Copies of this chain bind each other. A is one copy, B any other.
Amino acid sequence: MSTPLISDAESVVMAILWQRHPATAEDIIGALEGEQDWQDATIKTLLNRLLNKGAIRADKDGRRYLYAPVLQREEWLAQQSESLLDRWFGGRVAPLVAHFSKQRKLSERDIAELKALIEGMRDDQ
């Protein structure tokens, strides 16, 4: 089974769980207060769907459950970003950076960090 498909709404819940887990439904509802204007019931639905997809786990803790991610952030991120890379930039990173550069999305700090990154590369493998 490959990476489960996570919808946008579901990914908001995943984001919380990646930050802090295990967490109860209440924790998550609390964390989303103000952030997302969702009813509790909505969040519970999302938790259930994520459970069914196997993206999260629920461990019984007394009468409630503690939720935790099964799908790891890195794994999902890798899939997301690679899909974008492939679709738009032929799978190559340089054109992607060029794109952001054209969009003026590169801060001074980015440039400095990129420079350092690239210099420190060459060597290790």
Main DSSP-derived SS at the A contact region:
helix
| Residues of chain A in range 85-114 having any CB-CB distance to chain B below 8 Å | 85, 87-88, 91-94, 96-101, 103, 105-107, 109-111, 113-114
Find chain B residues with CB under 8 A from A115 CB: 118
Find chain B residues with CB under 8 A from A98 CB: 113, 117
> A106 touches which one: B77, B93, B103, B110 (CB < 8 A)?
B93
Q: Mark A63-89, 1 if CB is under 8 A from B, else 0.
A: 000000000000001101110110110
Kindly provide the distance from the CB of A102 to the nearest chain B CB, expressed in whole angstroms.
9
Contact present for A97 and B97 (CB under 8 Å): yes
**Which residues from chain A sit less than 8 Å from chain B, CB to CB?**
11, 77-78, 80-82, 84-85, 87-88, 91-94, 96-101, 103, 105-107, 109-111, 113-115, 117-118, 121-122
